[in-house]
């Protein structure tokens, strides 16, 4: 029995905890901290039938350009070959496994492992083995050694709208089908009409499971409760027009809020709901509000749009801040959030300045996302001892997964769990009715 077989058998017998609700309105807490579940995710999700986000075409515009990224716990090198094609392979030598590339990004004609100097071309093929034929008739590889059998482990690559994706799975549906209708139209809306350019990077390590971040970005319910900046300064409020749309199998979702002229009136009408919470300081003013006065540069009044794509990609537009967020799981108890801030090639200096201003809204110290990392840390710490119990996702209704024209909901989170549960091959949900709080 191979190591993989052993691991599969072991984990298949291990995933015996209960998903009490067929509609995924209950999530067993074990999934957030169990080491074996994390191991299983590496096989069944990251090496499974998904398209993993790897980066942007504009980050490697010239042949020889490369950058490193992560798929689950696997470090991957993404390169552009001389013919312009994009390739992705694991950053681990075919000889004895050493990490080959150290830089985050750069340009090179070949990749050489520092240990015994095995050399690979830009598509990951092994092209050079020092002393392959030995020296003076001594040493060298045996006659049966074929370099072609020792290429770097490659992912299959596809691109859409300037985004680069990779998969280990030969049977996964085509990328466009995987992304779905709303993701495709939003990628077109945000990135299709202008040539994107990176204006900055940021990394944040959050002491929480990677799936908690997936919940967070599919959770507009928290947006104007945890982030009082939203409600105080009218960026996203429960009174605004907006809603969620999910793609076919509900694994990807798009939350959006839309500006209307009477938003300030509708916001005042929220007072009753907020007064008893005691958190909204209505008179709070910014000393320098210029960050909030940046005109939207797309002509469609979408104030905030968060496009969340299974398993680790989020494209967010908050005002004029365009940011790609990638989740890089670091074991079950931590995730690195890697943010790529975007501008566009034809930005005027003023537009670039404005983008830099509104970047202050998001990121680890951002006015409306500082709290997310803290909230997720609290969940991670709160659930670790609650084996056999589960969370409650009922806001916006239970049962059928459906799009909504409002943002007071957790339905899109259930969409994430439905797909996760399917890929993880957990026992059928809803088999054990042990929830007195009304799960189906």
Q: Tell the smallest beta-carbon distance from residue 22 to ligand FES (Å).
A: 49
Size of the site for ligand FES (CB under 6 A): 8
36 binds ligand FES (CB under 6 A): no
Please choose which of ligand FES, Fe ion, none residue 71 contacts, taking the beta carbon within 5 to 8 angstroms, the exact cut-off set by kind. none
Q: Which is nearer to Fe ion, 25 or 224 (CB)?
A: 224
CA distance 286 to 200: 25
Site stretch for ligand FES (CB under 6 A), options 13-21, 114-122, 238-246, 287-295: 114-122
Give the C-alpha distances (Å, rounded to integers) separating 74 from 37, 69, 71, 157, 217. 17, 8, 5, 16, 24
**How far apart are CB 67 and ligand FES at their closest, in Å?**
20
> Among residues 98 and 265, whose Cβ is nearest to ligand FES?
98
- 115 vs 201, beta carbon nearer ligand FES: 115
Q: Which segments within 176-232 are labelled E, that is strand? A: 196-206
Nearer to Fe ion, 20 or 316 (CB): 316
Among 9, 98, 284, 296, binds ligand FES (CB under 6 A): 98
Smallest separation, CB 126 to Fe ion (Å): 45
Tell me: does residue 116 bind ligand FES (CB under 6 A).
yes
Q: Which is nearer to ligand FES, 91 or 224 (CB)?
A: 91
Minimum separation from the CB atom of position 43 to ligand FES (A): 25
Among the listed ranges 54-62, 111-119, 217-225, 350-358, the one in contact with ligand FES (CB under 6 A) is: 111-119
- What is the rounded distance in angstroms from the CA atom of residue 420 to the CA atom of residue 424? 6
Q: At what angle do helices 411-424 and 210-217 cross, to 10 degrees?
A: 140
Please report how close the Cβ of residue 82 comes to ligand FES at its closest, in angstroms: 23
Q: Does 115 bind ligand FES (CB under 6 A)?
A: yes
Which residue lies nearer to ligand FES by CB, 98 or 286? 98
- Shortest Cβ 102–ligand FES spacing (Å): 13
CB-nearer residue toward Fe ion: 215 or 372:
372
111-112 sheet: strands from edge to edge: 111-112, 119-120, 126-128
- Checking 169-176 for CB contacts under 8 A at 24+ apart, the result is 169/47, 169/48, 169/49, 169/50, 171/49, 172/49, 172/50, 172/51, 173/49, 175/51
Q: Which is nearer to ligand FES, 9 or 98 (CB)?
A: 98
DSSP string, 286-297: -SSGGGG-PPPS
Q: 215-245: b or e for each residue (b if 16 or more CB lie within 10 Å)? A: bbbbbbbbbbbbbbbbbbbbbbbbbbbbbbb
Distance of CA 138 to the CA centre of its chain: 51
215 binds Fe ion per the rule CB under 5 A = no
Of 41, 215, 247, 372, the one binding Fe ion by CB under 5 A:
372
d(CA 210, CA 337): 9
372 binds, among ligand FES, Fe ion, none (CB under 5 to 8 A by kind): Fe ion
End-to-end CA distance of the chain: 40
Name the maximum alpha-carbon separation found in the chain: 89
Phi and psi at residue 76, to the nearest 5°:
-125, 140
Rounded distance between C-alpha atoms, residue 203 and residue 142, angstroms = 46
Angstrom CA distances, 284 to 279, 281, 299, 323, 354, stand at 11, 6, 29, 27, 23
Cβ 95 to ligand FES shortest distance, Å: 3
Distances (CA, A) of 297 to 12, 350, 384: 50, 12, 44
Per partner kind, with CB cut-offs from 5 to 8 A, the member of ligand FES, Fe ion, none near residue 201 is none
Contact partner, 109, from ligand FES, Fe ion, none, Cβ < 5-8 Å per class: none
**113 sits near ligand FES (criterion: CB under 6 A):** yes
Q: Are the C-beta atoms of 27 and 420 separated by less than 8 Å?
A: no
The residue among 25 and 92 lying less far from ligand FES, judged by its C-beta, is: 92
Binding-site ranges for ligand FES (CB under 6 A): 93, 95-96, 98, 113, 115-116, 118
| Residues at the site binding Fe ion, with contacts judged by CB under 5 A | 372
């Amino acid at each position: 029995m191979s190591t993989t077989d052993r691991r599969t058998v072991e984990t298949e017998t291990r995933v015996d905890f209960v998903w009490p609700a067929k509609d995924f309105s209950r999530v067993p807490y074990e999934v957030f901290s169990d080491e074996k579940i994390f191991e299983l995710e590496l096989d069944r999700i990251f090496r499974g039938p998904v398209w993993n986000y790897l980066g942007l075409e504009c980050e490697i515009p010239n042949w020889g350009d490369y950058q490193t990224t992560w798929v689950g716990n696997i470090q991957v090198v993404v390169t552009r070959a001389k013919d312009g094609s994009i390739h992705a392979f694991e950053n681990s030598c075919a000889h004895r496994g050493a990490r080959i590339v150290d830089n985050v990004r750069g340009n090179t004609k070949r990749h050489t492992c520092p240990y015994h100097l095995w050399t690979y071309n830009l598509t990951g093929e092994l092209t050079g083995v020092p002393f392959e034929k030995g020296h003076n008739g001594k040493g060298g590889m045996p006659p049966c050694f074929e370099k072609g059998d020792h290429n770097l482990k490659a992912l299959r690559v596809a691109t859409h709208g300037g985004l680069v994706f990779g998969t280990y799975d030969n049977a996964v549906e085509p990328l466009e089908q995987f992304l779905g209708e709303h993701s495709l139209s939003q990628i077109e809306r945000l990135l299709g009409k202008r040539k994107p350019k990176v204006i900055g990077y940021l990394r944040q390590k959050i002491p929480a499971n990677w799936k908690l971040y997936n919940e967070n970005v599919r959770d507009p319910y928290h947006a104007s409760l945890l982030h009082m900046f939203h409600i105080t300064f009218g960026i996203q409020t429960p009174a605004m027009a907006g809603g969620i749309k999910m793609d076919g199998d509900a694994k990807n979702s798009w939350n959006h809020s839309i500006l209307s002229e009477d938003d300030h009136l509708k916001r005042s009408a929220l007072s009753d709901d907020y007064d008893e919470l005691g958190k909204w300081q209505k008179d709070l003013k910014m000393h320098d509000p210029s960050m909030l006065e940046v005109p939207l540069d797309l002509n469609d009044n979408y104030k905030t749009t968060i496009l969340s794509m299974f398993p680790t990609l989020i494209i967010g537009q908050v005002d004029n801040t365009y940011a790609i967020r990638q989740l890089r799981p670091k074991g079950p108890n931590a995730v690195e959030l890697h943010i790529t801030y975007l501008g566009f090639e034809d930005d005027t200096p003023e537009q670039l300045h404005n983008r830099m201003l509104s970047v202050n809204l998001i990121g680890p110290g951002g006015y409306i996302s500082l709290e997310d990392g803290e909230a997720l840390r609290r969940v991670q710490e709160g659930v670790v001892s609650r084996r056999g119990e589960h969370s409650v996702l009922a806001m916006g209704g239970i049962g059928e997964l459906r799009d909504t024209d409002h943002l007071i909901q957790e339905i899109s989170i259930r969409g994430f769990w439905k797909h996760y549960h399917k890929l993880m091959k957990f026992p059928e949900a809803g088999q054990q009715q042990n929830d007195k709080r009304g799960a189906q």
